[in-house]
């Protein structure tokens, strides 16, 4: 990533992974079944975002380092433009831009909740590219007017 100093994290925490198959590096994880645990998301726009894995962990019930704050790497799903808001794309924990989804909301007819995990610090073009994410979770909620 040209022009940056690399990954900057403010708080990394080790959580126990709930998933039988473990978890990959640079993917989003959500709250697990109990205190101190995490798991892969259930799918697109999953709630309960915990952070981005800094390491891989192949074994269930073992520790995985998770970036909770700062700037961390994630695997992109498709094209992302620097500055875009990002959300979880799939149960694999990859992330994608939700700018088009937010712009397409018609508040007159639909209530929408989008779970944003942060913003992109760089642009990507393809699935699997690394995007640096400034982690700042928030929920975009639009009620029917």
Instruction: List, in sequence order, the alpha helices (H) in the chain.
Output: 99-103
- Block mean pLDDT (10 aa), the chain, length 145: 56 96 98 97 97 97 97 97 98 97 82 94 97 94 73
Looking at residue 93, what is its pLDDT? 98
The answer to whether the beta carbons of residues 114 and 139 sit under 8 Å apart is yes
Domain boundaries, the chain: 11-70, 72-140
Tell me the two tokens of residue 119.
């913003």
Q: Which of 144, 123, 143, 142 has the alpha carbon at shortest distance from 133?
A: 123
The residues near 79 (Cβ < 8 Å, ≥ 6 apart) are 97, 123, 124, 125, 126
């Amino acid at each position: 990533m040209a022009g940056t100093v690399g990954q900057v994290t403010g708080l990394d925490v080790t959580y126990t992974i709930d998933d039988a198959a473990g978890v990959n590096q640079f993917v989003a994880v959500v709250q697990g079944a109990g205190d101190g645990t995490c798991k892969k998301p259930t799918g697109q726009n999953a709630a309960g975002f915990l952070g981005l894995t800094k390491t891989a962990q192949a074994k269930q019930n073992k520790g995985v380092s998770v970036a909770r704050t700062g700037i961390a790497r994630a695997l992109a799903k498709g094209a992302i433009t620097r500055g875009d808001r990002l959300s979880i794309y799939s149960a694999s924990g990859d992330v994608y831009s939700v700018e088009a989804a937010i712009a397409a909301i018609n508040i007159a007819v639909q209530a929408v909740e989008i779970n944003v995990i942060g913003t992109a610090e760089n642009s990507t073009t393809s699935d699997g590219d690394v995007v640096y994410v400034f982690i700042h979770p928030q929920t975009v909620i639009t009620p029917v007017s």
